[in-house]
Amino acid sequence: MKITRISVYHVDLPLEHPYWLSGGRLKFEVLDATFVKIETDAGLTGWGEGTPWGHTYVPAHGPGIRAGIETMAPFILGLDPRKVLEVERAMDLALPGHLYTKSPIDMACWDIAGQAAGLPIADLMGGGARTPAPIASSVGAKTVQETREVMDRYRQRGYHVHSVKVGGDAERDIERIRDVEAHRPRGERILYDVNRAWTRQRALRVMKATEDLGVMFEQPGETLDDIAAIRSKHAAPVSVDESLVTLQDAARIAREGLAEVFGIKLNRVGGLTKAARIRDIALAHGIDMFVMATGGSVLADTEALHLAATIPDHNLLGIWACQDMLTLDIAGGRGPRNKEGHLYLPESPGLGVHPDEGALGAPVAIYEAGQ
């Protein structure tokens, strides 16, 4: 089987509510999504998606994905998409780094490989659990009262895992965390996500002031060096996501004991092939995981769901449904959708959901073998 054509689509996915990242970063109202259709000489078609969480969050942006695919396409055409390691190697040779540009290609290849094998991707990866995966909310509120209201709205939709965004003023963060913990129903899991916004001293101020609560913080500093520098000065469990990009990052975090949890973001780390290795490092070191798309539609959420299904239930803390934050559905309601705060693994071969091509508009680029 050979890849004969790669079609690239650009779609702006509007957010239901504008999103402000902490630290003075710009607000954004749409996500710049790239969808990729890979066609083969065997008649199988695979789909991939790459949707960064805005372009001010981490070094990734939609036009970069499309430029990366333009550079890599001549080296991917003609390869067998079922041989994901060969495709990965070709991409890494054609364009070192730039991992986020590679994930849509990797995803489309896994989709084809699953269809060819007659298996959902998770089963092709070695076996997917059918346990419904709990979706984490994304609580971007500012005040104590707003935080209560947003969390209650999520609870009414069945959510029992929450990612509460902190990282503003230290005293207000302490107040919000104490209020959330005072009202936490039994069995709820809550992560306080700093999104790198604290300096070392602000991180220590909040982490020490909430030590009696035993709460977990995600990405409490800008870099792994920042997280390492305060590591011995607080007792809180730590999750790392923005600083978890490469396999080398995963190895360092595990070896130096910098975090108890990995937040694996599929687009950021370069797709399923690379993410599966990070999963294995986590499992080998007693590190639990959140698995998420970096952003995007039901396609990106489904990719993350497949990887999540390959993780033992007791090591998986949650997934995400970015689709719930969008006002445009490019798959007409198909694919895994929020049911009482959970997503269910699709049983059809491959990814298990494809977009409506009519919803994507005309391709912005087409690459063909022999051009």
Residues forming contacts to Mg ion in the complex (CB under 5 A) are 193, 218, 241
Nearer to Mg ion, 7 or 147 (CB): 147
- Is residue 209 left, alpha or beta, with left meaning phi > 0 and alpha meaning psi from -120 to 50? alpha
Minimal distance in Å, beta carbon 83 to Mg ion?
A: 33
Least CB distance to Mg ion at residue 227 (A): 13
For residue 136, the minimal CB distance to Mg ion (Å) is: 10
Q: Considering beta carbons, is residue 106 or 193 the nearer one to Mg ion?
A: 193
Catalytic residues, by residue number, are: 165, 265
Distance of closest approach, residue 173 Cβ to Mg ion, in angstroms: 15
Identity of the residue, 32 or 193, whose beta carbon is nearer to Mg ion in the bound complex: 193
